[in-house]
Amino acid sequence: MALANKDSISMAFSWFHLSSYFWKAQQVDSCFYFGKMAEKLWEARVEKIDLSHVCQHLGKCYLQLNRVKEASHYLHKAEGLLLSDPYFNETLFSTLAELYIKNGNTAKAYHYLAKAKELSQQIREKESSAKLAGLQIRYQTAQKEALLEKQREETEQAKNEAVKSIYQRNTILLITIGLLLVATVVIFLNRKINIKNHQLTVTNSALLRTTEQKETLLKEVHHRVKNNLTTLKSLFYLQAKSSPDQNVKEALIECQQQIHSMALIHQNMYEATENERLDFFHFLQQLITELEITKRTTGFPVHITYQGQSMEMDVSTALFLGLMVNELATNSFKHAFVGRDQGAIHVAIEKANHSFILTFMDDGVGLTRPFDALQGNFGFKLLHIMADQVQGTIRYQREQNQSVFTIEVPYEQLA
């Protein structure tokens, strides 16, 4: 118990990460040495969660070295410390099944594979529930926005009626003053005017407070939408982090970036205007800049240039075009410049022949197959779906050692 001091937790985590590092570096002895040091510390602190993780790590390492006896010891030790985390348990049961396959014990292997499959099904159900919750949030947000729009209309109508009422009252008062020249009547009317003015002041103050309340409520809705998008983005991040499947991780990270693109559109709409239109050229620059920070895997800077000018469009069209640019830029940063020591991306927008044209090009290696042959790929299928949503088209051509994607949308879609 002498190991259980105030620094033992950070020391145990350091040893555990060193063990993982040495395993990746193929330094097996150092891997097992630091892993067992972490095991002893967590046993001394009775930290079952962390102990189970290090036992599973050591068991998997022994199993990959075909040291079945040691692997069995640590994997069963981890099994005795099962967590409430279904991702951890599913991975552990799969590893135990692999252990018994190597032992030739098919009954045990089948037993653990069944348990792993059951947990995998539970995980899928949780993910489906998370998606359903996200759709519910979007539905509730739409309802709140509709309610706010109705309240804005009612407030505007009340203002118009108040102005009309003021005009009518003032007209009547002027006519009355002109007809009644008697001093006593004038004094009486002046007193009445003062009373009416006071009432109007009270009414105007009440209307002003109502307007301020509506604006506060609108800000609260925007704040909640922002928080909801952030929550969805965080959920995808956590799911990606916990998934053992690299393809699933990449898909979830792509979804996370798409949600981030939606959040950028919402932010631009809220900060710039109240009529649900935004400056697409500014948004485009902001989106690609953030994608470069998060997606570029090359070791050199990619030179990005823009051509165009400020152009307003409705949020719905900007959303689909933003998702298309998100997909194209992501592919460029990940695949176009492999093995290169330099790279360039050019993005341009223009109006021509009653159409809005967006051109995205890079000087990378280009597509490995014809563009039409890649429509079965999820990313390119997504591009065609998004183009159909705005009644537009997308074309690809290779010219002067550059990959050029051209997106054309009828100009009436931007209204």
Question: Residue 197's pLDDT band (boundaries 50, 70, 90)?
Answer: confident
Lowest mean pLDDT among 46-50, 178-182, 393-397: 46-50
CA distances from 218 to 135, 146, 147, 168 (A): 21, 11, 10, 33
* Boundaries of every domain in the chain: 8-125, 127-244, 246-415
Beta bridge partners of 305: 346
Per-residue confidence (pLDDT) for residue 366, from 0 to 100: 85
Model pLDDT for residues 79-125, shown as the tens digit of each residue: 888 777 788 888 888 888 888 888 888 888 888 888 888 888 888 88
Section 221-241 average pLDDT: 72
| Rounded distance between C-alpha atoms, residue 69 and residue 134, angstroms | 46
Checking if the pLDDT of 223 tops 90, the result is no
Lowest mean pLDDT among 41-45, 315-319, 334-338, 376-380: 376-380
Per-residue confidence (pLDDT) for residue 211, from 0 to 100: 62
Model pLDDT for residues 76-88, shown as the tens digit of each residue: 888 888 777 788 8
Q: Which two tokens stand for residue 46?
A: 């009775």
Lowest mean pLDDT among 242-246, 248-252, 332-336, 387-391: 248-252
Model pLDDT for residues 337-392, shown as the tens digit of each residue: 887 888 899 999 998 888 999 999 999 888 877 777 666 677 788 899 999 999 99
Any idea which architecture 8-125 has in CATH? Alpha Horseshoe (1.25)
CA distances from 41 to 5, 45, 203, 373 (A): 10, 6, 72, 56
Q: Cβ contacts of residue 47 below 8 Å, gap of 6+? A: 9, 12
Other Cβ atoms within 10 Å of 59 Cβ, number: 25
Phi and psi at residue 361, in whole multiples of 5°?
-140, 150
Per-residue confidence (pLDDT) for residue 396, from 0 to 100: 92
Q: Cβ contacts of residue 310 below 8 Å, gap of 6+? A: 279, 281, 282
Per-residue confidence (pLDDT) for residue 393, from 0 to 100: 93
Checking if the pLDDT of 29 tops 50, the result is yes
Q: Is 363 left (phi over 0), alpha (psi -120 to 50) or beta?
A: alpha
For the chain, give the mean pLDDT.
82
Per-residue confidence (pLDDT) for residue 63, from 0 to 100: 87
Other Cβ atoms within 10 Å of 167 Cβ, number: 10
Exposed/middle/buried for 328, CB within 10 Å: 0-12, 13-18, 19+?
buried
Checking if the pLDDT of 5 tops 60, the result is no
Checking if the pLDDT of 201 tops 80, the result is yes
| Rounded distance between C-alpha atoms, residue 73 and residue 62, angstroms | 10
| Rounded distance between C-alpha atoms, residue 27 and residue 411, angstroms | 62
Nearest residue to 193 via CA among 216, 172, 222, 164:
172
Q: Which two tokens stand for residue 342?
A: 């330099």
Per-residue confidence (pLDDT) for residue 409, from 0 to 100: 94
Q: Which two tokens stand for residue 272?
A: 């710039």
Lowest mean pLDDT among 240-249, 354-363, 391-400: 240-249
User: Which CATH number fits the domain 246-415, given the four candidates 2.10.109.10, 1.20.1260.10, 3.30.450.80, 3.30.565.10?
Assistant: 3.30.565.10
Is 340 in a helix, a strand, or coil? coil
Per-residue confidence (pLDDT) for residue 281, from 0 to 100: 93
